[in-house]
Amino acid sequence: MREANRIVSKILDELGEAVKPGVPTMLFEDICRKRCDEFGVRPAFLGYQGFPYALCCSVNEEIVHGFPSKERILKEGDIVSFDMGVVYDGFYGDSARTFGVGKVSHEAQKLMDVTRESLYIGIEQAVPGNNLYDVSAAIQSYVEGFGFGIVRRFVGHGIGSHLHEKPEIPNFVPKGMAGVPLKAGMVLAIEPMVTLGSYEVEMLGDRWTAVTKDRKLSAHFEHTVAVTHEGPRILSLSE
Ligand code: MG
Ligand code: MG
């Protein structure tokens, strides 16, 4: 799983380097597919429940599962979220990052910073003996402390020989539910999606792209993390 995630993080590095004003978002899909071919891995999302691309590419108010497009040209001040996964030797890697396009507004930068930081704060709780919802609570309280919204509709997940395994990992604490105890050997894809306004979600007509109902910006960061006796091990860290 480290190898699958190493490849994902390498491709995300390269996508990030290619982000600039004036490029169509299909460019990132092309890079993603080419690099998957070169690494000899299968893109995990392509064809998953009918998803038509290797890369989820979500701009501004798009939260997740956006389609790359030849017509969508990035412009200065946009933010763009890339979510991608690969299968290597039967095991999955899954990671996501949001990038600013050129110079972004102060609030867009703050949103990205808080979302990334909330992921690391959640990861710190991914240790044996903790409860899964310790991860959820840490993310939620950090994000809500800034007055931002935590998306409820989409959650993290276990990951291994399937892309989505149990348990679901909400980025908020669900009322009246008990989370599972964390044990060494579990691998979790933790992925807060954070909004500048309300956390309410709307689906676009393509039946995939999720946007904020109030059309305010949204950011998304994700790591695949192994729970070990030595602490959380982030498998999708860049080298
Ligand atoms: Mg993902
Ligand atoms: Mg995921």
pLDDT at 239 over 90: no
Check which CATH number belongs to the domain holding 12 and give it: 3.90.230.10
98 is a domain residue: yes
Distance 129 CA to ligand 1 centre (A): 26
**End-to-end C-alpha distance for the chain, whole angstroms:** 15
pLDDT at 26 over 90: yes
Distance 157 CA to ligand 2 centre (A): 6
174 is a domain residue: yes
- What percent of the chain clears pLDDT 70, i.e. is strictly above it? 100
With tokens 């939260």, the residue in question is 63
Q: Is the pTM higher than 0.85?
A: yes
Close Cβ partners of 58 (under 8 Å, ≥ 6 residues apart): 64, 65, 66, 80, 81, 83, 209, 210, 218, 220
239 is a domain residue: no
Q: What is the pLDDT of residues 65-123, one digit of tens each?
A: 999 999 999 999 999 999 999 999 999 999 999 999 999 999 999 999 999 999 999 99
- What percent of the chain clears pLDDT 90, i.e. is strictly above it? 98
Q: What is the pLDDT of residues 115-136, one digit of tens each?
A: 999 999 999 999 999 999 999 9
For residue 228, list its beta bridge partners. 231
CB under 5 Å of ion ligand 1: residues: 83, 94, 96, 222
Distance 189 CA to ligand 2 centre (A): 5
**Cα-based distances in Å from 99 to 39, 137, 179:** 24, 25, 32
Please tell me the total count of domains within the chain. Answer: 1
Distance 214 CA to ligand 2 centre (A): 24
Query: What's the rounded Cα separation, in Å, for the pair 86 and 36?
Result: 8
Calculate the dihedral angle through the C-alpha atoms of 32, 101, 17, 63, rounding to the nearest 10 degrees.
Answer: -40
133 is a domain residue: yes
Distance 105 CA to ligand 2 centre (A): 27
Give the pair of three-digit tokens for residue 129.
Answer: 């003996």
182 is a domain residue: yes
Domain, as residue range, for 70:
2-234
Q: What is the pLDDT of residues 203-215, one digit of tens each?
A: 999 999 999 999 9
Q: Are 94 and 67 in contact (CB under 8 A)?
A: no
DSSP 8-state secondary structure symbol assigned to residue 131 = B
Query: What's the rounded Cα separation, in Å, for the pair 105 and 112?
Result: 11
Close Cβ partners of 158 (under 8 Å, ≥ 6 residues apart): 164, 165, 166, 167, 169, 186, 187, 188, 189
Length of the chain: 239
The pLDDT-based confidence of 2 (bands split at 50, 70, 90) is very high
Q: What is the pLDDT of residues 27-51, one digit of tens each?
A: 999 999 999 999 999 999 999 999 9
